Structure 1
Amino acid sequence: MTEFGAPLVVRELPDPEVRDGEVVVEVVAACVLPYAAEVVSGARNYPLVPPVVPGTGGVGRIVHVGPDATRLSVGDLVWCDPTVRSRDDALTPDIALQGWSSRGDGGARLARHLHHGSFAERMRVPTENVFPLPEPAGDDPARWASLGVYAIPYGGLLAGGLEAGETLLVSGATGNLGSSAVAVALAMGAGRVIAPGRNRAALGLLAERFGPRVRPVELTGPEDADRAAMTAAADGPIDMVLDLLPPSAPGTAVRTAAMSVREYGRVVLMGGVGMLGGADLALPYPWLMRNSVTVRGQWCIPRTANVGIVRLLVGGTLDLAGEQVRSFPLDAVNDAIAHAAAHAGPFDRTVLTPAVRSDGRPLARS
């Protein structure tokens, strides 16, 4: 990305060099998020500093290993988590999403050090951000690249302490991340998942795919009416609410869902509401206090979430077979970004495969 608002340019850069505490990975497949177009256009105001290679993690094979790695080897198939943390503060580490975003001055320093993301043939990654994948994942790495889409809501569900048998409400359930949250929650043993939304087709897809444990709710607009519909669909107390709504959604939509939670319930906020302006969430103080409701924000995921999501996939409780995957070669990256924006619905994935060109030939390497 040479500048915000310009098409991405495919050009040769020097190969990244391995350093202590890092590995270099040959990228095999990298998921293109549906809002990637908003990032590269500058509409989301992410603190990327051009020129930069964007991209949020991916599947690859290790080509260089630093001297402090004791279990990773050259040739290993791995998942690369883009969530980079500073190593000098265990309590409140600075965070950057490699090749994507950052938080505060410390996060900006991390982003300058690990500047480039996964839309490339090779990527330098912190050793602790690399997680081994089962070798069969190498048969269909483009499908496994969607692991990162599932890991995000999984991190939110871990933060909220979702337990087997509980009832979860996913605010934003018809979107790319929200629908993934529904799948992960069921894989974790949720008794039922309330899925509110306005997209009838997407609600129908969720109900058809997951059966009676998913309770779709078509939203109509008024807060009281929508909250009553969510509560009725739950047929009992709602233990936890996970919000994954995008920046375009109003704060009232988050509040409507959040205030459906039971006494002593939990609300986890992982979406983008308010990032581009708009009214505050405005949860009532008396309601929060008298109902002993816990509200928690969660940006990015803990390292353990990567291990856990791989376990769910390997164990078969989370299934990638129903994914609609469209792969693009690296030199068609702008087509991939446009495709991702146009296919932002449930279980619809767009993936870059850097090993080939649009004519089917391997990319030349320097």
Structure 2
Amino acid sequence: MVTNVLRVLWAEPRPANPPARSSRDWALVAVLTVWSVAEAVLRDVLAPLPLVLLAVLAVVAPLLWRRTHPLGAVVVCFGTLTLVDAVRILSGTEGGLLTSISAALVLAYSLFRWGAGREAVIGFGVILVWLAVTNVADPTSLADAVGAYAFFLFSAALGAAIRFHARARIRDIDEAKTREREQIARELHDTVAHHVSGIAIQAQAGRAVAASDPERAVEALVTIENAATQALLEMRSMVGVLRASQDAELAPQPGVADLERLTSGTEARPHVQVTLSGELEDLSPAVGAAIYRLAQESITNARRHARQATRVTVVVAGDAEDVRLTVDDDGAPSTADGGVGGYGLVGMQERTTLLGGTFHAGPTADRGWRVQATLPRTRTGR
């Protein structure tokens, strides 16, 4: 079993795009420096000053590269500490090192949080070598020695747990985006298929009544029919794999004009009110469907997560360039509404971005939750 675990760990890739140094890293270095200076002043029995300074530097400096170069940071830190302890053993030096070197636990965490699998295996081997050497340099009881190993094992396990949790989080977000893309593809398919089917029917009718017309008109109608039929077949082939059912409904998707549907069945709280204003005619079918779906998802979130909400207002305003959607509720948002644990907002953000718009969701200044989306009248996104 251990062999299998090591084999899986060895093949583990590094997480993508680890964060670089931040102000918190510099703050940690500053705190450790002050801690080390204070301890050096207050403690009486210490190893020679050059060894103490080298040990502190070996722990503090690599912390700045613990995310981008976790194995290098561990090798520099624990390799130097092993060298310092070896010198202490060979020279018979009295006195110990500063307790601030316990910050090396952060490097063990970072190794399993940000390093590749083989880096984690190699780096932890370096840590185990140092633990064996330092127990000789500073003899301790068996319980203390086991405790030291346990601390580093816990730090490594914590790093691995955070790593896999972050990966699961990213996978869930990607799945939410994929589901939203599939929904958009289905809506676009149904909308375009509806219109293309109409083109094909009109072209067939044109052929039937154009028997006495010039031959070029008949050829043009044949071309229209063939092109429309081929486009429909190709589109069905392209997005057919996205459908749970093989039967496609060739009907337009809901749009802005259908938002009143969302107010039905609202005798129970919260009550939904829809207000439409401005230029909302001739919207791109994809944009109209997006406005409807964003409003529908926002109302669903309010009913599920807004505590004590009595009212949800949906306002859609259009002008010559954009359509703006604002959905407000007067409830107290729970942690699931708009929090990091939910993926409804991820899908809404993805849908808006794909259509070239902007999206924002968050609590209002006084009470409630607001969703705002601005979309171009015509689909200009990716």
Higher helix fraction: Structure 1 or Structure 2?
2
Q: TM-score, normalized by length of structure 1? A: 0.21
Which is bigger in relative contact order (C-alpha 8 A, separation at least 6)?
A: 1
Higher strand fraction: Structure 1 or Structure 2?
1
